[in-house]
Amino acid sequence: MKIFSRRLRKLLSGLPVDDGRLQEIRLRVRAPILLRFRDGERSVTDSGRMISNPAEGYRVTPDDLKETLDYLSGYSMYAYEEELRQGFLTIQGGHRIGLAGRAVVEAGVLRSMKYITFMNIRLAREIRGCADGLIPFVYQEGNLCHTLILSPPGAGKTTLLRDLIRQISDGNRKHPGMTVGVVDERSEIGACYQGIPQNDLGIRTDILDASPKAQGMMMLIRTMSPEAVAVDEIGGNADVEALEHCMNCGCKILATVHGSSIEELKKKDGV
């Protein structure tokens, strides 16, 4: 709650959001607050009452967003120029704040962002044990298999990958723990805050945070000698080439990709 403006904090602090159902809080200037739960969407009134009709919800003001950005950045957005270039900030607890507004482009390259008027707070949440049912299928004759998790956005593939990494890293009575290298391009898997992972990825896991996937995979192979490499949401030829390099080096691959079916996946360029 401390990241929100005082007005928004007052509206949101009394809501029943601690039971694990809340996934996102979306703030758009002059539009209603939208709360995305697992079972649907809600808004909140001027008095802090949760409702189903967004038209009756409290409308976010420019001052609400400005004050929230001040709290997020410690009153210094310039210190977060690199994060702004990627369009998100990761805060303590691993929560990711997506940002949109006016892009600052120089020579065809996105350099920063200003007039930020759209914000998506995605709540990080570990579900320990969610990969329990998957573990028997990712090993064959005691050896870890290359594993690709395919699902549409929002279905939980990153959450599943996170717990899979933890269990492979820690090991169990049937399978010894393995060294896992994680390239966490958008800080969603380990959710590092000032270099420290907020999520448990296991005792034998090394994380390269905020690195482009293709470059990060090559770096981990050279520097950390992982037995398995994990990445989230692969796409494009560069990622695939890096994955092939990891496989040729003897590393097992744990990865996710957007898609609704194998047929849809086969149509994607580079994948």
Residue 72 to residue 198: CA distance in whole angstroms: 17
Q: Is the pLDDT of residue 1 over 90?
A: no
**Mean pLDDT, range 245-262, rounded to an integer:** 93
Q: Is the pLDDT of residue 110 over 80?
A: no
Classify burial at 235, counting beta carbons within 10 Å of its beta carbon; exposed 0-12, middle 13-18, buried 19 or more. Answer: middle
**Which of 183, 210, 197 shows the shortest CA–CA distance to 85?**
210
Q: Is the pLDDT of residue 79 over 70?
A: no
The pLDDT score that the predictor gives to residue 78 is 67
Chain segment 60-74, per-residue pLDDT in tens:
999 999 999 888 887
Rg for the chain, CA atoms, rounded: 20
Binning pLDDT at 50, 70 and 90, where does residue 270 land? low
The residues, any chain, with a CB within 8 Å of residue 214's CB and separated by 6 or more, are 238, 239, 241, 242
CA 142 to chain centre: 31
Residue 47 to residue 237: CA distance in whole angstroms: 51
**Mean pLDDT over all residues of the chain?**
89
Binning pLDDT at 50, 70 and 90, where does residue 18 land? low
Least confident of 44-53, 90-99, 236-245: 90-99
